[in-house]
Structures are given as C-alpha cells and as structure tokens.
C-alpha cells in the first residue's frame, strides 16, 4: 500500500503521465457522442456503462456498439466540426505545466484516433503520443470495422501501451490517470494510478484507487508545492 504522500512524490517526479481521454481529458464519452449523432444513443450508452464497469470484455463491447452505430467517415468529420468534444476544466493548464517540466504526456484511449487526435491538437500533444483505436472505412466512406490489431482494442490494452512506452523510452516512472476500470488495470505496469471522478464517478474506481481526485486543480497544486 503506497501512502498518499508517496503517490504525490511519484506524480511530481514522473518521466511520463498517461491520460485516458473519454470522461477524463474530455467531458464526454466519444463513442456515446457518435451514437447520439448517428441516432442510436440509448442502446449504445447502456453498453458503454457496462463496458466501463468491467462487466463485458472491451473488444466485444466495442464491436457490438460500432455495429449498431455504423459511423461513416463523413459522420465522424461532421461530429468533430459541429459538436467538438469539451476539454475538462484544468486539463489544459495541467498538461502545459507537465510539458514545461519536460514530462512526456500521452493520451491512451479505447476511443477513436480521429477524435483523440483532435483533442491532442488542442493540448499541444503530438499525434505520436496518441494511442487509440482506428476506425476503418470503405473507399466510399462507409463504416468497414475497426483495426483489431491496436492494443487499445483489447481489455488490458492500456497496460500493453504503457509496457511498450517503458521499453521504448526507458521511462522509470509512468503515471496513469483515468476514470474507468480499464485505466486502473494499467497499474502495473504503470507505477501509480490516479482515479479521476470530475466528469463521472465509477464506484469501482473510487473504492479502489489509492489517490482519487475530482478536479485537476489538485494535481496542479501538487506540482506547485
């Protein structure tokens, strides 16, 4: 059991901080917003809730939801143009402060790369620091599935990404920040996990995270101490 002060020290001395995106860096769940835009919101949000609670294997839930939504390339582009995701208050300042300290910031998401790269650009995070699922489209723009080879398409995928980052960049301390069960599962190999409940509270995460926050100001404050 790591003490709260040890966790703070770990966070303040990390080489890299990885953030989940949906309901963490942004206020929405990207897949639910896409479902709403495509007119199948209710069925899909129930599946998302079950998947985030850890009740359904992630790839099965993703496959099932996408087969309901069937998003075209044009619909994804229109969603970003007409209903861009809203950044969670405090995240822009937190990412900026971490970057000033030469900490590498990564976005690791079970959501879609086209949406996550849009978010990354708002935070000055390079697209090479984005790990997310890729939607596939036929030449006419219709939905053709998703890239099942991406580690983020599987349960435990976020942990695989963190293991890869440690091997590639020789990071000594990586912190994972997120709202869901799939984020908490990534520690280990992450050296610490910080649960985030500023947009939605997942009881399993609140009960089990050793450091649980509802506002990014708390992390900013830890860096300033």
Residue 183 is a catalytic residue: no
**Cβ(177)–Cβ(17) under 8 Å?**
yes
Name 174's bridge partners.
16
SS3 105: strand
**Cβ(107)–Cβ(19) under 8 Å?**
yes
Residue 179 is a catalytic residue: no
Q: Who contacts 31 (Cβ-Cβ below 8 Å, separation ≥6)? A: 22, 44, 48, 62, 65, 66, 69, 111, 112
* Phi and psi, residue 163, nearest 5°: -60, -45
Tell me the C-alpha distance between 56 and 50, whole Å: 6
Q: Of 15, 20, 191, 215, which is the active-site residue?
A: 20
H-type helices in 101-142, by residue range? 113-122
Q: Of 15, 22, 183, 207, which is the active-site residue?
A: 22
Tell me the C-alpha distance between 56 and 183, whole Å: 15
**Cβ(35)–Cβ(68) under 8 Å?**
yes
Reference 68, options 47, 44, 51; nearest CA is 44
Tell me the C-alpha distance between 134 and 149, whole Å: 9
Q: Who contacts 33 (Cβ-Cβ below 8 Å, separation ≥6)? A: 79, 83, 85
Q: Which residues are known catalytic residues?
A: 20, 22
């Amino acid at each position: 059991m790591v003490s709260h002060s040890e966790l703070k020290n770990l966070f303040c001395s990390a080489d890299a901080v990885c953030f989940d995106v949906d309901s963490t860096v942004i206020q929405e769940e990207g897949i639910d917003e896409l479902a709403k835009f495509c007119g199948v919101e209710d069925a899909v949000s129930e599946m998302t809730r079950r998947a985030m609670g850890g009740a359904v294997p992630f790839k099965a839930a993703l496959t099932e939801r996408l087969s309901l939504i069937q998003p075209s390339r044009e619909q994804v582009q229109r969603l970003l143009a007409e209903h861009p995701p809203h950044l969670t208050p405090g995240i822009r300042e937190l990412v900026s402060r971490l970057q000033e300290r030469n900490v590498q910031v990564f976005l690791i998401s079970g959501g879609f790369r086209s949406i996550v790269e849009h978010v990354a650009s708002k935070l000055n995070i390079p697209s090479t620091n984005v790990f997310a699922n890729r939607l596939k489209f036929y030449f006419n723009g219709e939905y053709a599935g998703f890239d099942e080879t991406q580690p983020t398409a599987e349960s435990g995928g976020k942990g695989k990404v963190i293991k890869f980052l440690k091997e590639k960049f020789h990071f000594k301390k990586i912190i994972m920040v997120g709202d869901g069960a799939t984020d908490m599962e990534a520690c280990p190999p992450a050296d610490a996990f910080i649960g985030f409940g500023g947009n939605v509270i997942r009881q399993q995460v609140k009960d089990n995270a050793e450091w649980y926050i509802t506002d990014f100001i708390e992390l900013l404050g830890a860096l300033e101490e």
